[in-house]
Structure 1
Amino acid sequence: MTKLVTIVGATGSQGKGVVAAFINHPAYHVRAITRNLESQSAKALSAQGVELVRADLNDPQSVKAAFAGSNIIFAVTNFMEPFEVHQSPVKAVETELQQGINMAEAAASTIDTLEHYIWSTLPDSLAISRGKHAVPHFNGKNKIDEHIRSLPVLEAKTTFLWITWYHNNYIFPIFTPLYVSTAQKYIQLGPYQAETPVWTLGDVTKNITPFIRGIIASGDKAKGEIVVAHTEETTMGELLQTWAGTKGAKAQLIQIGGKEYRELWGLWGEEMATMMEFWSDVKDKSWTDAEGRKVLTRKDLGIEVGEFETLVKGFENLQF
């Protein structure tokens, strides 16, 4: 029997990798949720045989209709969109939270057919840091986690999937290394030390795919559990040197104060500085659960390293 896989954000970075986990597999029928059926990205999915369904995450009834009959659902929210629109982390968290609740309630309404709900989320920065670091684009997702856990029948079928650092974050000006001709090298300014640990998934469009397949193949093992999706453990300094190595260039990380970083980048500086200060402060606890729940890794899911594209390869293909 063919299983219906419904994917939220199918045209986005995570969604593309999730689609790849199921497309052209005879056991699955893929349904993509989109607000715009006429976009080029949507049309490209349709050409691959993906069913397109229009839905707005702000409209509970449209989400419920889109989720109807699903056996597997991949759900994700986009904090950055309302953050840009409203220029407010508070409003972005409010929007993201309501969207996440809408999806959770819609998924719960399909419980008779639903086998697996994969929810893309992040660790609880506030709890891990004992109230010191509240990263807005983490916090909204954490509140959604709480809502899912308040629905026992849904929690029992949910994998809480933590997505780590994207290699293409370097495309965003706030992280893009800047070339200084007089020094003949690239510099990167940040409110963090070179030793700040970073867990990365590299190219998420490719490397989320083995995790999704592993989660589904694991059966009940990943249900009700947290899975951290990362392929490599590095540091902010090593990350920069890896990128520079693929360009045959020299690079240097220059640490500046959080106040100066925020002044340079405004709201984006505030958001990213808070995350980096969290990572710098808690270090190896960054990807742990404050309640002591076990966090499953690729090894727990039986995923081999060879299934992933390396960070080096991802950086080689990255253009900006």
Structure 2
Amino acid sequence: MALPIIAVVGATGAQGAGVVSAFTAPGKSGNYHIRALTSNTTTPAAEKLKALSDVSVKSVDLNSIESVLDAFRDASYIFANTIFHPETFMSQGPKAAQEREEGQGLNIVRAAAQTPSLKHLVWSGLPDAYKISKGAFDIPHFQSKIPAEQFIWSKESGLSERSTVLHVGLYGSNPQRPLWQGVHVPVAKKLLITVPFPPEGELHFIGDETINPGLFTRSIIEQPEKTIGRVVLGSAELISCQRWIEILTEVFKERGQDFEAGYLECTYSSFVTFWGPSGKEIGDMLQYWAKMDPADSWQDYRGFPVLTAADLGVEKELRSTKDRLLGMNEEEFDLISRASSIK
């Protein structure tokens, strides 16, 4: 008897690879066939997936609904995550990047709606900041995911009784990213991170983004009676920026580096002036979280209570932000610590 198929969109990305890992882990493998979907089946990440049992790798063009329909054929379960394409953002601006991701997301959910075998769709998205803030915040990389979610919950889609939306918090690896990397002062052996957010302000972190989205997705699929028709907050921990900096310093020490992190809240205007359009994108996101209660900023815009890791019973399995940082190889962590410059 053939195994039920889980189609994973973006299987070579952090979230998608985590989903594949969650369903192929010891004690969990053998129950499903994973169809790993990617735009390029020849990358090292794709080749790694091909070596796994009960996993096949298939090419998909998210700009073509016909391609997506073919990729979803006979799938019982679908996990889908789209990206706010950085190359489009940098070359054409945030509106073009938003429109590109919106189109790909709609192709995914429309194809899912036309997949007769589908039992459960897990859509990885972000909260509708514009609606939640009553129009005060229009954040392109948030809003680019909303048309797909609106389609899921619409009566005409037929997906509301076959879907769960997962809103994923900040990645534990964010200090690798340019706007979060901070200023390195090798002579003082310090890393100073400066963003427009109060040090005592709290943020939801997914923690280890290479593991935890998969654990959430597996738990969602295994508990349809709880999760169908609901929004799940993909958060492993709610921590302040000051605590985040303390975690970075702890990691430096545990990795044997005589280095510490510091934090300085900057103004929104200075952040945007320095970083340009990218600074506005991230600055608007941080201002949204700074000016709203953490619970309100991640709410289900339909008014239903949001499910948490505790509700799903998965909180003890999740890997923290500190776990993600400690688990990085030297090349990965060097993007944060600039270790080579302080040796």
TM-score band, normalised by shorter chain: over 0.9
The answer to whether structure 1 residue 47 and structure 2 residue 51 are counterparts is yes
For 1:181 and 1:299, how far apart are their aligned partners in 2? 41
The answer to whether structure 1 residue 301 and structure 2 residue 312 are counterparts is yes
For 1:246 and 1:87, how far apart are their aligned partners in 2? 38
**Identical-residue share of aligned pairs (%):** 33
Query: Runs of 5+ in structure 2 lacking a partner?
Result: 254-258, 336-343
Deviation at 1:133, TM superposition (A): 1.1
Deviations 1:233-268 (A, max 9, x none): 101221122112211333321122211111211121
**Partner AA of 2:289 in structure 1:** W
For 2:297 and 2:49, how far apart are their aligned partners in 1? 35
Deviations 1:90-125 (A, max 9, x none): 011111111111111111111x21110000001111
Between 206-215 and 96-105, the greater mean CA deviation after superposition: 206-215
Q: 1:262 aligns with which of 262, 272, 276?
A: 272
8 Å CA contact retained: 1:159, 1:222? yes
Compared CA separation, residues 202 and 295, structure 1 to 2 (3 A)? same
For 2:187 and 2:39, how far apart are their aligned partners in 1? 48
Deviation at 1:182, TM superposition (A): 5.7
Give the aligned partner of residue 152 of structure 2.
148
Give the aligned partner of residue 19 of structure 1.
20
Counterpart secondary structure, 2:158: helix
Deviations 1:57-87 (A, max 9, x none): 0011011111111000001111134544534
Give the aligned partner of residue 190 of structure 1.
195
Deviation at 1:293, TM superposition (A): 1.4
Give the aligned partner of residue 276 of structure 1.
286
Deviation at 1:38, TM superposition (A): 1.6
TM-score, structure 2 as length reference:
0.88
8 Å CA contact retained: 1:11, 1:42? yes
Counterpart secondary structure, 1:71: strand
8 Å CA contact retained: 2:268, 2:283? yes
8 Å CA contact retained: 2:113, 2:157? no
For 1:146 and 1:180, how far apart are their aligned partners in 2? 46
Instruction: Give the aligned CA root-mean-square deviation in angstroms.
Output: 1.6
For 2:214 and 2:60, how far apart are their aligned partners in 1? 24
Give the aligned partner of residue 119 of structure 1.
123
8 Å CA contact retained: 1:79, 1:92? yes
For 1:262 and 1:126, how far apart are their aligned partners in 2? 20
For 2:18 and 2:288, how far apart are their aligned partners in 1? 28
TM-score, structure 1 as length reference:
0.94
For 1:3 and 1:81, how far apart are their aligned partners in 2? 34
For 2:281 and 2:14, how far apart are their aligned partners in 1? 20
For 1:61 and 1:279, how far apart are their aligned partners in 2? 38
Alignment of 1:45-124 (within 5 A): 45-49=49-53, 50-81=55-86, 83-84=88-89, 86-110=91-115, 112-124=116-128
Query: Runs of 5+ in structure 1 lacking a partner?
Result: none
Counterpart secondary structure, 1:296: coil
For 1:291 and 1:61, how far apart are their aligned partners in 2? 31
8 Å CA contact retained: 1:196, 1:283? no
Give the aligned partner of residue 129 of structure 1.
133
Give the aligned partner of residue 290 of structure 1.
301
Q: Figure out how many residues of one structure are paired with residues of the other and give that number.
A: 318
8 Å CA contact retained: 1:121, 1:161? yes
